[in-house]
Chains A and B, each alone.
Chain A
Amino acid sequence: MSTLKLTQYQLARWWEAPRAGLANYRVVLDVDQPTGASLLHSFLITVAFTLIVVAISWSLGVAGAISLQRVRVGRAALRTLFLVPYALPVFAAVITWRFLLQRDNGMLNHVLVDQLGLLNGNAFYLIGPNSFWSLCVVTIWREWPFAFLMILAALQSIPEDVYEAAGMDGAGPWRQLRNITLPMIAPVNQVLVLVLALRTFRDFETPYVLFGGSAPDQARLLSVEIYQNSFETFNFGLGSAMSVLLLVFLMVMTASYLVITRRRT
């Protein structure tokens, strides 16, 4: 399909669309032309977005899970609260954030400007440079409970007497964390980081609901780029060429990730 010159005019009989050979790929990969340049731009944004979201979601998940481990009162309540963002349907969660991030009547500006006095004037969060960070925060809000859940389950499989033995040998909580807990959850981390990265890299729904149909340039993820090329400008051939490239990239990344982490363990 990526080798067809396909627009909405041929859609009803798409299999008869003119052949384009590799021309779509040439357009998409030519970074001197607008299409290629914008694809490269959104590719880099997506990579940065994925790294940030995975790193922070994972850290919050670990921190939350190990902190909750010792809580005795209210543990179930906190656990349940932390899982709500994960259980909430995407559109409901992201629409709420969209309201929080409104310039004039949103919560964030109210807190930052009126209550804490950190900013002088109301800032925009859904357009301009801030939109990238808004997207990261909202995605982290939705993704970290998944990391939390997986690590919580992994922690439960560590037998209590390992800690007791270490405690008798005089290891404090920080050393126990570094020398027992983190190594013991390493196998879960391998899967968890991969799953988080794949989910984040392909995320479409968060930017789509947060920004509406067209995302600001600073937050145009690859999936949004593909969507806009396919379903808004109706360049289906270009859209699928991009999809194929994305797929190849993800397969190469996953394979090398698995090879590298296997070799180390």
Chain B
Amino acid sequence: MMQETPGYRIFRRTTLALLTVFVGAPLVVMVSTAIKPLSQVQSAFRWIPTQPTLRPFVEMWSTVPLARYFANSVIVASVSTVLSVTVAIMAAYAVSRWRFRGRESFRLAVLATQMFPGVLFLLPLFLLFVMVDRLTGLALVGSRTGLVITYLTFALPYAIWMLVSYFETIPHELDDAAKVDGCGPVRLLVSVLLPAARPVIVAVSIFSFMLAWGEVLFASVLTSEQTRTVSIGLQSYASEANVYWNQVMAASLVVSAPIVVAFLLLQRHITSGLTAGAVK
């Protein structure tokens, strides 16, 4: 390990200190506000609550129908995650293990979809849903199905891209060995490739779930009061005349906690999956 000059050490420590404050301050406020009574939130700001209370965590369920939003989010996010990971595994398997016409263009098309702003998809998708509704009577606007389809179209390209990158790193000799042992293509996927790709599958699942859980734009247009997800639901505390900031923060904590904890526990997998896709 090399020698550190004092100047470098000061730079290093200052950077870390400033970043800690910048990142940490909003998080501290989030937690401390969630345990304040309403009167303290509406008056001048203070860092530490004088009378900490857990009431916001109780009241937040009745101010807005948070439980319903929560259930909607869980359904939409889980279904779209399961579907996108399953489809992505099959697509990535095909792209990395079989030569077929249009293989390269498929890969490029998958990458290209990463570039497009969501706003660009919003109108076409909305109009397509309207058309499907007209033609088949299947109401997609305002339904959870519509939202699942939407998130599928976002999560899939990313999932496919990451899985293909990872499958490519698994040596093809492994396939040959398995074939000699009498493995068919399905067994090859299920018992050779999938176990080897477990970290990246975990990463992809978390990403798909986070994407559906946190999405705001499409949820704001494509849901009705009955199918609203938490990402939009939280706004209804804030848009009322009297903003219950303590309940907003409590609700934010509750809806973020599962995802943040999962992300942080699996950060090693996620880092490797993320960089495998990008650094390549």
Which residues does A use to contact B, with CB under 8 Å? 1, 11-15, 60, 63-64, 66-68, 70-71, 78-93, 95-100, 102, 104-107, 109-110, 114, 141, 145, 149-150, 152-154, 163-164, 166-167, 172-174, 176, 187-188, 191-192, 195, 198, 201-202, 204-205, 208-209, 212, 223, 226-227, 230-231, 236, 239-240, 243, 246-247, 250-251, 254
With A99-B245, A204-B117 already in contact, the answer to whether A81 and B23 are too (CB < 8 A) is yes
B252 at interface (Cβ–Cβ under 8 A)? yes
Residue pair B123, A230 in contact (C-beta under 8 Å): yes
Residue pair A98, B238 in contact (C-beta under 8 Å): yes
Could you say which residues of chain A place their CB within 8 Å of the CB of B274? 149-150, 153
Residue pair B2, A163 in contact (C-beta under 8 Å): yes
Q: How far is the CB of B43 from chain A (nearest CB, A)?
A: 7
Residue pair A11, B130 in contact (C-beta under 8 Å): yes
Residue pair B279, A106 in contact (C-beta under 8 Å): no
B136 at interface (Cβ–Cβ under 8 A)? no
Residue pair A1, B123 in contact (C-beta under 8 Å): yes
Could you say which residues of chain A place their CB within 8 Å of the CB of B13? 67
Q: Which residue of B lies closest to A74 (CB)?
A: B16
Could you say which residues of chain B place their CB within 8 Å of the CB of A63? 15, 19
Residue pair A89, B231 in contact (C-beta under 8 Å): yes
Could you say which residues of chain B place their CB within 8 Å of the CB of A67? 11-13, 15-16, 19
Could you say which residues of chain A place their CB within 8 Å of the CB of B15? 63-64, 67
With A107-B45, A149-B274 already in contact, the answer to whether A201 and B117 are too (CB < 8 A) is yes
Q: How far is the CB of A141 from chain B (nearest CB, A)?
A: 7
Q: How far is the CA of A240 from the CA of B122 in the complex (A)?
A: 10
Could you say which residues of chain A place their CB within 8 Å of the CB of B123? 1, 230, 236, 239-240, 243
Q: How far is the CB of B110 from chain A (nearest CB, A)?
A: 15
Residue pair B124, A89 in contact (C-beta under 8 Å): no
| Stretch touching chain A among B83-91, B169-177, B186-194, B263-271 | B263-271
With A60-B19, A84-B23, A191-B279 already in contact, the answer to whether A91 and B214 are too (CB < 8 A) is yes
Residue pair B119, A150 in contact (C-beta under 8 Å): no
Residue pair A105, B8 in contact (C-beta under 8 Å): no
Further 14 A-B residue pairs, CB within 8 A, beyond A64-B16, A91-B234, A105-B43: A64-B15, A70-B4, A81-B23, A82-B19, A99-B245, A100-B29, A107-B47, A152-B271, A153-B275, A153-B279, A198-B115, A208-B220, A236-B123, A243-B117
Q: How far is the CA of A153 from the CA of B269 in the complex (A)?
A: 12
Residue pair B117, A87 in contact (C-beta under 8 Å): no
Residue pair B45, A87 in contact (C-beta under 8 Å): no
Could you say which residues of chain B place their CB within 8 Å of the CB of A202? 116-119
Q: How far is the CB of A146 from chain B (nearest CB, A)?
A: 9
Most buried by B among A66, A114, A227: A227
Most buried by B among A80, A95, A208, A240: A95
Which residues does B use to contact A, with CB under 8 Å? 1-5, 7-8, 11-13, 15-16, 19-20, 22-27, 29-30, 33, 41-47, 114-120, 122-124, 127, 130-131, 134, 210, 213-217, 220-221, 230-232, 234-235, 238-239, 245, 248-249, 252-253, 255-256, 259-260, 263-264, 267, 271-272, 274-275, 278-279
Could you say which residues of chain B place their CB within 8 Å of the CB of A95? 234-235, 238, 248, 252
Could you say which residues of chain A place their CB within 8 Å of the CB of B30? 92, 96
Question: What 4 A-B pairs are tightest by C-beta distance, nearest first?
Answer: A202-B117, A89-B214, A167-B2, A87-B263
Q: How far is the CB of B72 from chain A (nearest CB, A)?
A: 14
Could you say which residues of chain A place their CB within 8 Å of the CB of B239? 212
Could you say which residues of chain B place their CB within 8 Å of the CB of A149? 271, 274
Q: Which residue of B lies closest to A203 (CB)?
A: B117
10 chain-A/chain-B pairs, Cβ below 8 angstroms: A14-B131, A81-B24, A84-B264, A96-B27, A105-B45, A153-B272, A172-B8, A230-B123, A243-B120, A246-B119
Residue pair B279, A92 in contact (C-beta under 8 Å): no
Could you say which residues of chain B place their CB within 8 Å of the CB of A166? 2
Q: How far is the CA of A172 from the CA of B8 in the complex (A)?
A: 9
Q: How far is the CB of A42 from chain B (nearest CB, A)?
A: 12
Q: How far is the CA of A249 from the CA of B274 in the complex (A)?
A: 27
Q: How far is the CA of A141 from the CA of B18 in the complex (A)?
A: 12
Could you say which residues of chain A place their CB within 8 Å of the CB of B41? 105
